[in-house]
Chains A and B, each alone.
Chain A
Amino acid sequence: MGSVIAMRVMMDLVKAIENDGLTLPQMLRYQQRYHEYRRWSVFEILKRHGKPKNIAPEDKAVLWHVARGELTTMPGGIGLAQTALRYAKEIEKENHTGSIVLHAAGAWISRYWLEEEAHHEVAYGTLLEEFCCDPIPEEEVVQHRGLFPTDNFLRNMMLQACVEVEVAVTYANQAKATKSPLIHDVFNQVMKDEVQHRQYFVSFAQALVDSKVYPAKDALAMAFTWLRPKGGELYGSKRDAQTPREGYVNWWETVRTHNHADAVTDQQHYTDGLFAKKRKSILKAVEESTGQRYETVEELQRGYFKSLAAVKQPRPSLGQERSKVDATASMEATS
């Protein structure tokens, strides 16, 4: 199992399963061990710093958003974990390796992702409510708990990787910009979790491609949907047009940038530098999950469209035949 110091997210799961005899119980123990190794306490950080004298307006604006965004992870995780187990059952006879990958994904999402994300929700919510702003109204909390539509699970994993990139870059930026040691430590700690979560989602995406549960194009689809120059999810609330969502919240579409007391500045959320970091990390996720290397979004688009040209009679794949739903569906959660 290796040294605790050297622990990292396992990649190349399919090779390990098929060539090295890696079993599901071994993966589950490794997930638990890594989780224990990485744990931290929200209330120990808050106690260490004590109540701050004041929270700067820029910090308040970000807290207003992230405390709400993190609320959406719980319904996202519940839906994904349940879906993973359902899909695993559906393919267990025809694709044993793929089924084991889905079991591993379902276990990690339900046990560790949800637990770690609870830290984020509680940390930001506590900072918001106890130190600077009005609490989130109960009805708004409930609004953020809507279940997301299910979809092709590879798209889901890539979507989650994109969302983790989005928040990791945002939190790192805030940790760097703030003058508050408390805000710095909380955002920096949460950011480290999000980086790790990105890697887990990429690992499962890679394994779903390698085990042939889904074609690589489904990973390209989600990355392109996130990054496309006009209308990409990356541009969130600044897109010209938004599709209305019913029953759930895509938090990145609701970022307030103007004419609100809690609006974030462009410098905090919409700069070329931040966009470039996000693009680079997502293109790297594409490479890790599919083996296809793209240096730019334009190259990604060409590769993705080329992969579509050959598919003249698409057939529904696992997850695409049952949910007649919106959109960038499955678009979910923070993290």
Chain B
Amino acid sequence: MSTTIEEFKSVVARRLQLEPASLYGKKLKLAEVVARSPVASNSIDLVEAVAGAMAELEIDDRIELPTMTLNNTIDDVIAEVNNQLNQN
């Protein structure tokens, strides 16, 4: 079964222990995501949420981990992953 971006978003949100509705579509900078998540302290924790979702959904062989700074938004990350899913 092909992974949809919605599945990916759901797993990332679960790993950050945040509600998807409060996480996506609000142009939240990654620094703000760190501040809101009860389990993330810094950018490595964010990487682990995204990379962990890629591994859990078994798409890490075809998706490259996005390179972002804390000034990027979580929506930027999702857009980049979605773009790669569509291409691969």
Contact = CB atoms under 8 A, between A and B. Distances in A.
Interface of A: 149, 151-152, 155, 221-222, 225, 228, 230-231, 240-244, 302, 304-306, 308-309, 311-316, 319-330
Contacts of A325: 34, 41-42
Given A326-B31, A326-B70, A309 B55 contact: yes
A312 B39 contact: no
A47 B64 CA distance: 54
Residues of A contacting B: mostly: loop
A278 to B, nearest CB: 19
Interface of B: 14-15, 31, 34-35, 38-39, 41-45, 47-48, 51-52, 54-56, 60, 64-65, 67-71
A308 B52 contact: yes
Contacts of A319: 41
A304 B48 CA distance: 9
Contacts of A149: 42
Given A308-B56, A312-B56, A320-B39, 17 more contacts: A228-B65, A230-B67, A243-B69, A302-B60, A304-B51, A305-B60, A306-B55, A309-B55, A309-B56, A311-B48, A313-B15, A314-B39, A314-B48, A320-B45, A324-B34, A328-B44, A329-B42
Contacts, number: 92
Given A221-B48, A324-B34, A326-B31, A305 B42 contact: no
A240 B14 CA distance: 30
Nearest to A231: B67
Nearest to A324: B35
Most chain A beta-carbon contacts within 10 A, residue among B41, B56, B60, B69? B41
B71 A244 contact: yes
A263 B64 CA distance: 33
A311 B56 CA distance: 9
A221 B69 CA distance: 17
B87 to A, nearest CB: 17
A326 B35 CA distance: 10
Main secondary structure of the interface of B (DSSP, over half): helix
B41 A316 contact: yes
B67 A225 contact: no
A305 B63 CA distance: 12
Given A230-B67, A241-B69, A243-B71, A309 B43 contact: no
B41 A308 contact: no
Contact of B43 (A240, A244, A302, A329): A329
9 contacts: A221-B47, A314-B45, A314-B48, A316-B38, A316-B41, A323-B41, A325-B34, A325-B42, A330-B42
With most chain A CB atoms within 10 A of its CB, the pick from B45, B60, B70 is B45
Contacts of B68: 231, 241
A326 B43 contact: yes
A311 B52 contact: yes
Nearest to B57: A309
A302 B55 CA distance: 9
